[in-house]
């Protein structure tokens, strides 16, 4: 199950980052998820509750920030947000696009712990 292993890896990387804050408790984890990462938020929230039990993340909130698919359209010369993941065509000119700029993200954006806030670029789910 995709969401369960994702939840487990979130717990793992967050626990790792907590190493610098002994005794710190996690209040909130913000996750960036691209539309193409195929994550079901309901299932992930459920698995997160299970995976965090008995860890420093127990009782914390998981905020899922869903990012739409963005392609670069050569025809239009700009980045275009796609309406959905079914069609990889520019929503402005209708030309097929292959230059993916956003949509596959699956990473931890920020953590909030009771010691303050850590912003992190290197922690990945
Ligand atoms: Zn276009």
> Is residue 14 within 8 Å of residue 58, measured between CB atoms?
no
pLDDT of residue 111 exceeding 80, the answer is yes
Task: Sort 113 into a burial class: Cβ within 10 Å, 0-12 / 13-18 / 19+.
Answer: buried
Q: If you measure from the C-alpha of residue 79 to the centroid of ligand 1, how many angstroms do you get, rounded to a whole number?
A: 8
Which architecture characterizes domain 2-68+103-119 according to CATH? 2-Layer Sandwich (3.30)
Q: 3-state class of 51 per DSSP?
A: helix
Q: If you measure from the C-alpha of residue 68 to the centroid of ligand 1, how many angstroms do you get, rounded to a whole number?
A: 16
Element (H, E) at 27: strand 26-34
Q: If you measure from the C-alpha of residue 81 to the centroid of ligand 1, how many angstroms do you get, rounded to a whole number?
A: 10
pLDDT of residue 67: 95
Residue 36 CA to residue 102 CA, distance in Å, equals 9
Q: If you measure from the C-alpha of residue 94 to the centroid of ligand 1, how many angstroms do you get, rounded to a whole number?
A: 6
Q: If you measure from the C-alpha of residue 89 to the centroid of ligand 1, how many angstroms do you get, rounded to a whole number?
A: 8
Q: If you measure from the C-alpha of residue 96 to the centroid of ligand 1, how many angstroms do you get, rounded to a whole number?
A: 8
pLDDT in tens, 55-102: 999 999 999 999 999 999 999 999 999 987 888 999 999 999 999 999
Sign of the alpha-carbon torsion through 9, 13, 14, 18: positive
pLDDT in tens, 17-69: 998 888 788 999 999 999 999 899 999 999 999 999 999 999 999 999 999 99
Would you say how long the chain is, in residues? 125
Each domain of the chain, given as residue ranges in start order, spans 2-68+103-119
């Amino acid at each position: 199950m995709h969401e369960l292993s994702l939840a487990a890896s979130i717990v793992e990387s967050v626990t790792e980052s907590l190493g610098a804050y002994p005794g710190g408790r996690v209040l909130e984890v913000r996750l960036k998820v691209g539309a193409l990462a195929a994550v079901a938020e309901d299932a992930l929230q459920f698995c997160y509750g299970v995976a965090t039990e008995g860890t420093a993340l127990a009782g914390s909130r998981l905020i899922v920030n869903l990012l739409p698919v963005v392609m670069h359209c050569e025809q239009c010369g700009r980045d275009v947000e796609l309406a959905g993941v079914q069609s990889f065509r520019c929503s402005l000119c209708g030309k097929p696009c292959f230059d993916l700029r956003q949509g596959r993200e699956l990473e931890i954006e920020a953590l909030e712990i009771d010691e303050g806030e850590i912003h992190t670029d290197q922690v990945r789910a």
